[in-house]
């Protein structure tokens, strides 16, 4: 409670009583009730009152910044340049906003077999945008098959293997490629032409020309880990296949073009350009292979064994994941390490990600500079390709509670052109679609 002011007296709040104001030469040294000290306190009180009045007046005359501008979802709005703030910070905020807008749910769950009660596992999948269909690599008990699931939910088996299927994809010229892990009859590679439309109900859209065919690659112990068709722009269709004996390159008819021999497994492969493939091995080297020439070029040395590679779409940068970390390398930079056991200099080191598995599921959304990876607990994490920082993890669908690891992860675009992440695990497909409105502002 404020005490009443009495003329000629000073109230000491600490002692709780009044003192008569005394002249400076009479009052004890340092006394609060001296004439000089009372004058100073009154002046300070008047200053505080004037400051409070000015602050209140300034707040009433100031246009307040909308709270929406501080939200990550509105990261592209604001006077960043006028305020002298970094455009990179704005860009990172936009990436964080996009990472937080994905909404997940279960897309597909395979039915159990009527005779044995078990379900097939989905080892790989590919979204065919032209036919609005899903191609799935299904396997159970060392038997694999490629299934076509159309818009009408009618399922057709296209190919069958006596081994689990390692990959399935469609090239830019509509060539279907499927590979199996083991070398079993009738073959470990299946190639067929895919139609651009479905003319007849009740049959899969497979063309007679080129005729569907199986190929047998390698020796009895050869394992085919992955396959990647070259992107659009190449003079001819080339399929790069990573195996336990290096890299095989086939044409669209399944004929062998080249075999780049290595004594190590190439479990992940991608195309840096329409004619140059890139892949890595367990001992950390990253190689380049040119479809127009023979030979293998050692380009980089990663920090640990390579678990995955992805081209970033500009013809020079490549993302390499390993057992102890992920880095972005640029072929325009020097690749010579400082010592025999040191890694090559990287363009960017990503946030630490460790794994104990030889292959990591990951994919890149190049337009948004987002990297999606699945850790050993099947938690999907999103990283910025600009800074390497962790942007967050995906919620909604919960594959971490399912049995088995996530086999494949692909960024696709929904019919309304929203970026969508799809993953397969066990007998289920999960999907995370971006829930916000698309922002075309650069």
Among the listed residues 377, 395, 328, 361, the one whose alpha carbon sits nearest the alpha carbon of residue 99: 395
440, pLDDT greater than 50: no
User: In angstroms, rounded to a whole number, what is the distance separating the alpha carbons of residues 421 and 50?
Assistant: 59
1, pLDDT greater than 60: no
Across the range 8-34, mean pLDDT stands at 84
Residue 215 is predicted with a pLDDT of 92
**Most confident stretch, 37-41, 132-136, 238-242, 382-386:** 238-242
Question: At 40, which helix (H) or strand (E)?
Answer: helix 35-61
Residue 87 is predicted with a pLDDT of 57
CA torsion through residues 157, 181, 257, 317, sign: positive
- Confidence tier at 317 by pLDDT (50, 70, 90): very high
- Confidence tier at 33 by pLDDT (50, 70, 90): confident
Which of 24-38, 90-104, 206-220, 283-297 is least confident?
A: 90-104
Residue 436 is predicted with a pLDDT of 46
- Proportion of the chain above pLDDT 90, given as a percent: 31
Peptide bond into 108 cis (omega under 30): no
Which of 39-48, 76-85, 355-364, 377-386 is least confident?
A: 76-85
User: In angstroms, rounded to a whole number, what is the distance separating the alpha carbons of residues 317 and 311?
Assistant: 6
Residue 67 is predicted with a pLDDT of 58
Note the maximum CA span of the chain: 116
pTM, two decimals, is 0.75
CB contact set of 53 (below 8 Å; sequence gap of 6+):
none
Mean pLDDT (the chain, rounded): 83
**pLDDT tens digits for range 352-371:** 766 777 677 889 988 888 89
Which of 139-143, 166-170, 235-239 is least confident?
A: 139-143
334, pLDDT greater than 60: yes
437, pLDDT greater than 50: no
Among the listed residues 241, 272, 266, 269, the one whose alpha carbon sits nearest the alpha carbon of residue 254: 241
User: Could you say which DSSP state residue 206 is in?
Assistant: B
Q: Is 434 helix (H, G, I), strand (E, B) or coil?
A: strand
User: In angstroms, rounded to a whole number, what is the distance separating the alpha carbons of residues 229 and 402?
Assistant: 31
């Amino acid at each position: 409670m404020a005490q009443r002011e009495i003329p000629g007296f000073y109230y000491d709040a600490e002692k709780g009583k009044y003192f008569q104001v005394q002249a400076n030469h009479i009052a004890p040294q340092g006394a609060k009730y001296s004439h000089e000290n009372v004058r100073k306190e009154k002046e300070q009180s008047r200053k505080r009152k004037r400051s409070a009045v000015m602050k209140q007046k300034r707040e009433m005359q100031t246009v307040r910044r909308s709270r929406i501008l501080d939200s990550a979802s509105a990261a592209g709005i604001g006077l960043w340049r006028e305020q002298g703030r970094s455009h990179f910070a704005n860009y990172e905020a936009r990436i964080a906003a996009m990472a937080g807008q994905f909404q997940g749910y279960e897309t597909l769950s395979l039915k159990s077999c009527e005779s044995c009660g078990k379900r097939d596992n989905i080892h790989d999948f590919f979204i065919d945008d032209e036919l609005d269909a899903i191609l799935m690599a299904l396997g159970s008990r060392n038997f694999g098959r490629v299934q076509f699931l159309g818009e009408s939910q009618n399922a057709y088996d296209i190919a069958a293997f006596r081994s689990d299927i390692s990959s399935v994809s469609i090239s830019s010229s509509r060539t279907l490629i499927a590979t199996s892990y083991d070398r079993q009859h009738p073959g470990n590679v299946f190639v067929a032409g895919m139609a651009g439309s479905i003319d007849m109900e009740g049959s899969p859209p497979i063309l007679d020309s080129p005729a569907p065919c199986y190929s047998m690659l390698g020796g009895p112990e050869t394992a085919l880990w992955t396959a990647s068709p070259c992107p659009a722009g190449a003079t001819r269709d080339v399929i790069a296949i990573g195996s336990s004996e290096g890299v095989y390159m086939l044409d669209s008819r399944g004929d062998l073009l080249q075999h780049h021999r290595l004594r190590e497994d190439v479990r992940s492969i991608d195309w840096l350009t329409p004619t140059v493939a890139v892949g890595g091995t367990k001992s950390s080297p990253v190689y380049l292979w040119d479809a127009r020439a023979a030979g293998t070029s050692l380009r980089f040395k990663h920090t640990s064994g390579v678990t995955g590679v992805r081209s970033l779409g500009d013809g020079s940068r490549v993302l390499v994941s390993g057992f102890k970390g992920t880095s972005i390398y640029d072929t325009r930079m020097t690749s010579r390490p400082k010592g025999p056991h040191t890694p090559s200099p990287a363009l960017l080191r990503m946030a630490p990600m460790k794994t104990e598995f030889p292959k990591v599921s990951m994919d890149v959304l190049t337009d948004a500079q987002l990297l999606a990876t699945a850790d050993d607990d099947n938690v999907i994490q999103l990283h910025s390709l600009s800074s390497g920082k962790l942007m967050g993890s995906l919620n909604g669908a919960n594959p971490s509670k399912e049995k088995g690891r996530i086999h494949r992860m692909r960024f696709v675009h929904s019919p309304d052109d929203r970026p969508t992440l799809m993953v397969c695990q066990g007998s289920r497909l999960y999907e995370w679609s971006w829930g916000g409105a698309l922002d075309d502002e650069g």
